Amino acid sequence: MEITLNAYHTLIVAAIVMLVGHWLVFRIKFLSSFNIPEPVAGGLLAALIITVLNATLDLKFKLNADLQTTFMLMFFASIGLSADFTRLKEGGKPLIMLLVLVSIFIVVQNVIGVGLAALLGLKPLIGLVVGSITLTGGHGTAGAWGPVLEAKYGITGATTLGIATATFGLVFGGLIGGPVARYLIRKQKRKPLPQAHERSDVETISGTPRHEQATESEEEKRLTFEIFDQPRLITAYVAIETLAMFAACLTSADLLSRWTHGTAIELPTFIWALASGVVIRNVLTHMFRFEMFDRAIDVFGNASLSLFLAMALVSLRLWELADLAGPVAIILAVQVVVMMLYATYVTYRFMGADFDAAVVAAGHCGFGLGATPTAIANMQAVTDRFGPSYKAYLIVPLVGAFFVDLVNATVLQLFTQIPFLQ
């Protein structure tokens, strides 16, 4: 038996899943320590319950697909609307270098995924799901590409596999970042900061006055990418103005998707939404001197992602993954090892082989397998012990949160066009 939920019921279920997820993350330290998103925590619990109901009562649920798609497109539009290319100038050469290194790694990730999938007897495109779709892209990209791979390329369970793999990436991205950075810092023979009980009332061992330390600490916190509890003052006018830009992105994406259907430049609709956001953002900002309200864009984008993930996770069919568990585990194990080696011997060296480079390497482990909050958590753990790294806190969030999604979308589109992978 299948229960179909309309748009209202779907929205209510998504909200309940998010509230349950918030409670779980608040109560369970493991979930908060590894930055597991609240809709993922609540959604996976819902998916497990639905799996049990399916196994015992042969019961299935079908949510409103149009509402889910709308929130997904709004999330990708928010990425585009946040991608101001003047930020490339702010980060300078280090940001460009990190973006190049991350772009190369996205290709490496997909080559490994596709190659191992073929060797293990799976469809090669499954390797993209266990590659940059989920590991660099995260849950949002996994939920977006899953239906495309299922409908267009016949990859059964792509969405379910993607969500599971993205969750795996969050956990291991948080686990390996610290050890990689500590290994690199030990090679530099850098001493950890003295603990609070080891400091004098006036100065630290390094001679930095305590009041200056407090200033550095506050500045370091200011440079972190996202503080979710920070109040966001958004007026009704700003909300309507921001929604108008989202509406323009979604309208543009829908039209472009229809016009290019069946042509050589056919792209998934969510990529058109992202691209439309990039164009609208940079045209309004640089040609019309329009002042964008980034906080409003972030709020709508984060809320859309949360609702989309909650709906996607409730729709999961975990029983479809049984046959893939073994091969996927092997591919993921290799991806984790390659991430550690790349961060240690490539990211670290090309970013300068100094303390800042070690912190950047920890951040790369975070968003290379998980997400930007995981990268920030990795860097925070390192800088709390060894001192601040303003360079890392400037460039890692810019690359991990904005520009990497543009590169990843381009690379994935190219991979899906390779004939022998289809």
pLDDT at 226 over 70: no
To 5 degrees, how large is the angle CA 285–CA 286–CA 287?
105
Token pair for 104: 């190369």
Looking at beta carbons, which pairs linking 213-219 to residues 24 or more positions away fall under 8 Å? 216/388, 217/388, 219/388, 219/390
Segment 312-342, tens digit of pLDDT: 878 777 766 666 778 888 999 999 999 999 9
Supply the pLDDT for residue 222.
Answer: 39
**154 by DSSP, 3-state: which?**
coil
Segment 261-320, tens digit of pLDDT: 878 777 888 889 988 998 999 999 988 888 888 889 988 988 898 888 888 878 777 766
Strands (E), 92-224: none
